[in-house]
Amino acid sequence: MRLKNVRGAKEIIENSSYVIKNFEINFTNDNPIRIEIGMGKGNFLIENAKRYPNINFIGIEKFDSVIVRAVEKLENLDLKNIKLIRMDALNINEIFSRNIDILYLNFSDPWPKKRHQNRRLTSPVFLEKYDGIFKHKKNIIMKTDNRKLFEYSLMSFSNNGYKISNISLDLYKDDINDNIPTEYETKFAEKGAIIYMVEVMKE
């Protein structure tokens, strides 16, 4: 998918109090921290921050043209428990170190070609990087509409010592009351697509 440039995106991002500068994470509390890699336009993260004021949330996004949309939504809100950071997820273990409670992977790029499989956010390359970011137990929650990515991820989690604590093979047919959808999720679900979800943990 080709991303459209947004005029003034860089300036909007740099001037936002919600965006972490110089990778300095400065929540003024000791509340748990949860992160979402590939936060898109921010709906999932913003709704979580509203619903759970005693939990801190950080959204990670690589592209200015995407993160700026979340910034625009946040400028009309007063949320103390949410921050955004523009970075490549490959560098995640250089920024976070044993301070994350939960990692969300929502509708990540499936990178369907085999030669690109190491770019998948559930590949062994990334799972190894995640190992050092968690404060206690390693806890990942993933949602996707891509069955092949889901199957690949289940195998990858298992091979890297994770155990399934919760799983849905059709999220919208299962009785999950506290689900907060992403923008993509809402669009896919309205078209009748099956949404897969899994939560995995590792000591």
User: Within 10 A of 175 (CB to CB), how many other CB atoms are there?
Assistant: 5
Give yes or no for residue 141 having a pLDDT over 90: yes
DSSP state letters, 41-87: TSHHHHHHHHH-TTSEEEEEES-HHHHHHHHHHHTT---TTEEEEE-
- How far, in Å, CA of 93 to CA of 1, rounded? 27
Q: Span 129-154, mean pLDDT?
A: 97
User: Are the C-beta atoms of residues 140 and 157 closer than 8 Å to each other?
Assistant: yes
Give the integer Cα–Cα distance in Å for 31 and 120.
30
State the sign of the Cα–Cα–Cα–Cα dihedral 36, 47, 68, 16: negative
What pLDDT does 5 receive? 63
Give the burial class of 113: count Cβ atoms within 10 A of its Cβ; 0-12 exposed, 13-18 middle, 19 or more buried. Answer: exposed
- Closest among 37, 195, 59, 201 to 126, alpha carbons compared: 37
Q: How far apart are CA 161 and CA 145, in angstroms?
A: 24
Q: Where are the beta strands (DSSP E) in 78-137?
A: 82-86, 102-106
Please report the pLDDT score of residue 6 as a whole number: 60
Residue 42: φ, ψ to 5°: 95, 0
Active site residues: 109
Instruction: Give the pLDDT confidence of 63-83 residue by residue, as tens digits.
Output: 888 899 999 999 889 999 999
Cα(71)–Cα(56) distance, integer angstroms: 17
First to last CA, the chain: 37
Burial bucket for residue 47 (CB in 10 Å: 0-12, 13-18, 19+): middle
pLDDT in tens, 4-58: 566 678 888 888 999 998 888 888 899 999 999 999 899 999 999 999 999 999 9
Closest among 67, 60, 79 to 11, alpha carbons compared: 67
Percent of the chain, pLDDT > 70?
97
- Structural domains in the chain, sorted by start: 33-202 (3.40.50.150)
